[in-house]
Homo-oligomer: A and B are copies of this chain.
Amino acid sequence: MTKPIEVRNPRTGKYDYVIIPPPPKLLAQQCNRIRRAQVSWQQLGLEGRIEALQQWKQAILSGRAQLTEALINDTGRLSISVLEIDSFLSSIDRWCGLAPQLLQESAKNTAIPFISLQQTSVPYPLVGVISPWNFPLLLSTIDTIPALLAGCAVIVKPSEIAPRFVAPLMSTLNTVPKLRDILTFVEGAGQTGAALIENVDLICFTGSVETGHRVADAAARNFIPAYLELGGKDPAIVLESANLDLATSAILWGAVVNTGQSCLSIERIYVAESIFEQFYHQLVTKAHRLQLAYPTIERGEIGPIISENQAAIINEHLQDAVSKGAVIHCGGKVEELGGGWWCRPTVLTEVNHSMQVMTEETFGPIMPVMAFSTVEEAVQLTNDSIYGLSAAVFAEPVELALEVAQQIDVGAISINDAALTAIMHEGEKNAFKFSGLGGSRMGPAALKRFMRKKAFLIKTNSTNDPWWFNHAE
């Protein structure tokens, strides 16, 4: 049996929403149903699939008010909820535009004169997506859209911490029967996620390293591909030559946007010692100006901490740092306001790698700043991490920044800005170390990883001898 799950509101702290996970047997039936429907979805062809997605987009535009409201209640924030919907809608257009070229296939010449090669790709029938609470809509659809265009059916289990958006999203989906038959969202927590993996042909997971390991194990046991996008502890390196005003603005935003609740948040900052003081003064000045979005949601830049667990982790990291000698220059603690958990942008100095705040994912608006004396030291500190998601380098000229970037063991590096992958999805990148496993979520690979390649090898000469006869002589 499965129990209802109470959902907490991040602004009020009240448990004001309930989700009801499907019993495992029902989930299996759901999966079977959409897996069967996938055959028609694939046969529909790319044009038909694009049409269905565009219809969905129109339905979302019509139901936008309800979706926005649900996302606001899920996350306690306003402008990012609006942005999530915008980004989601534009990702539909982006993929619909890219897919025709990516799915084009043609006969190829081969080096062997009597064999001709035709390549084709076929979708994995049923893709599972398990997504986190920090960008509930975006991260539940980032893999879903390309998988749908590839011709897969998709079943999504969003996080139980921010599930309110599912109901209005399903309403929009119900207006597009072709899509509704092969795409569904299920409510539930870890147990439902685990059951989902048992019923799909490929799993995409975005979330913590800890759960990522369990997903990898389950996928191996089920002998299905797993694409894992896990945590990060993204560093920023600021060289002496950096444009300081730009660096402090970009790093501040890269660290506190969405209250730091992003896998590609800047979570540690290494600054050349010659500009260290100037840097953190400027950073503190700018950080200090930012306001909480409280008591009204319309004001301020910093929303509530969505997950109560995460609030405890942020506090733990801060206390650990201070107990080991770190100095807090602004912000500095998680506080309760009106039932929600809040944290002002926090700048720390006197930090080192014995502190959790420099080594573990904090997922809050926390900016520990550390000085380095040589570029080698900066690179060594940067790579001294179990994570390898992304990074930022600030330096002039760009060539110097690129030289440093080459030495960093992460998948994406922003030069003279932070988290550019958040708006630029063309660059293929793989996660390093514990930050992930499997194909690139960005660039052309993002769509292609949902398909298997088939090769047709055709004997084209007219002799009755198989190739082996000529080869063996």
A residues near B (Cβ < 8 Å) are 79, 83, 94, 108, 110-112, 115, 117-120, 213, 216-217, 219-221, 223-226, 243, 245-246, 249-250, 253-254, 257, 398, 401-402, 405-406, 410-418, 420-421, 423-424, 426-430, 432, 434, 437-438, 440, 442-443, 445, 452-459, 463-469, 471-472
Contact = CB atoms under 8 A, between A and B. Distances in A.
Most chain B CB within a 10 A radius of its CB, from A226, A245, A413, A459: A459
Nearest to A112: B424
Given A220-B220, A221-B217, A421-B455, A246 B432 contact: no
B468 A117 contact: no
B427 A119 contact: yes
A75 to B, nearest CB: 16
Contacts of A452: 411, 430, 432
Nearest to A430: B452
A379 to B, nearest CB: 14
A453 B430 contact: yes
Given A423-B471, A426-B110, A413 B253 contact: no
Nearest to A86: B471
Q: Which 6 A-B pairs have the closest CB atoms?
A: A427-B455, A250-B466, A220-B220, A420-B457, A417-B459, A430-B452
Given A415-B457, A452-B432, A457-B414, A420 B115 contact: yes
Contacts of A243: 464
Contacts of A468: 250, 253-254, 257, 418
A424 B464 contact: no
Contacts of A220: 213, 216-217, 219-220, 226
A420 B249 contact: no
Contacts of A471: 83, 423
A85 to B, nearest CB: 14
A398 to B, nearest CB: 6
B110 A456 contact: no
A464 B249 contact: yes
B426 A118 contact: no
Contacts of A216: 220-221, 223
B454 A412 contact: yes
9 contacts: A108-B427, A111-B424, A119-B428, A213-B220, A217-B220, A225-B437, A410-B454, A411-B453, A440-B453
B466 A398 contact: no
Contacts of A457: 412-415, 417, 420-421, 424, 427
Contacts of A219: 220
A48 to B, nearest CB: 18
A417 B415 CA distance: 53
Contacts of A426: 108, 110-111, 117
Given A119-B428, A429-B454, A430-B452, 4 more contacts: A223-B434, A246-B463, A412-B456, A418-B466
A466 B220 CA distance: 41
Given A420-B115, A466-B246, A471-B423, A412 B223 contact: no
A220 B220 CA distance: 6
A415 B117 CA distance: 10
A250 B112 CA distance: 18
A112 B249 contact: no
Nearest to A470: B423
Contacts of A406: 120
Contacts of A442: 455
B454 A110 contact: no
A131 B443 CA distance: 33
Nearest to A465: B249
Contacts of A463: 246
B411 A456 contact: no
